Amino acid sequence: MVTPPLKDRLQSALGSAVVESQPMSVGFGLTGLIVRLEDGRRLAVKARTQPQNTGAHAGPSLELEGFMLSELKRLSDLPVPQVHVAAPDLLVMDFIDNDGGPITPAVERDAARLLSALHATPRSSFGYGRDTLIGPLPQPNPESARWIPFFRDHRLMHMAQAAHDEARLPAHLFGRVERLAARLDDYLSEPPFPSLLHGDLWTGNVLVRGDAIAGFVDPAIYFGHPEIELAFTTMFGTFGPAFFAAYEELSPIAPGFHDLRRDLYNLYPALVHVRLFGASYLGGIEGTLKRLGL
């Protein structure tokens, strides 16, 4: 149930009384609610109701999550919720009606259509005009002319260095990631242009209704290479053959992606998970580095 202080804040910000609330599952120590207002609106609420940790995993800035959602809505046709309130400790957005159904081949094909369109518009540089987040973790976005140096410095090595500093990534694995970083030009190529990315496409952030995508939530946006987004969709089996067949009909993928580059790009989210959830993700990192001969 919504607490009286939060209820008062919501009613003041939204201009309508809260008449019903129910819990909504959210992570990173936040309170999640689905609320119905007297004026008929149904909204999703994320709130930080406990004092914020000031350490490395302080928790996401809800203002920044709201910014990322608003940018996706402004710059694309991707189905994302409209944001109504975005403060550091409170995010209120439209509730996206969904049936919680499975990601079927039909849903995958719909996702391919949406993501191909998202990736198809050329952007001016890699990075973004503002740093963003992936989960609760900072994601630096200095605007950059080339993709490979951006990925090397501000994705792969940024996350590896932070994981090593936190004693989550052992020194021997950190050294192997460094050796890979020095050789990325051997494995990767520059895309034709930077593309807007959702940035955190796993099953929990994909909402389904029937045979279609109802919405995408919890983004980690920046301008980058579409292949890193495509790779992330395979990390937890979110999308499979039906998605890739449909995507390639609209936006061909360069040969070799599934053989090597997919796993290389997934080192970045794997390092994110090492920082957030610990050593169970180290084996996958070691396996990819071994495949690369490192």
**Distance between CA atoms of residues 32 and 39, nearest Å:** 21
Q: Within a 10 A sphere around the Cβ of 117, how many other Cβ atoms?
A: 14
Q: Are strands 83-87 and 90-94 parallel, antiparallel or unpaired?
A: antiparallel
**Distance between CA atoms of residues 149 and 194, nearest Å:** 13
SS3 for 214?
Answer: strand
Catalytic amino acids?
Answer: 200
CB neighbour burial string for 76-95, b if at least 16 within 10 angstroms, e if fewer: bebbbbebbbbeebbbbbeb
**Distance between CA atoms of residues 23 and 76, nearest Å:** 30
**Distance between CA atoms of residues 66 and 269, nearest Å:** 21
Residues pairing with 93 in the sheet: 44, 83
CB neighbour burial string for 18-42, b if at least 16 within 10 angstroms, e if fewer: beebeeeebeeebbebebbbeeeee
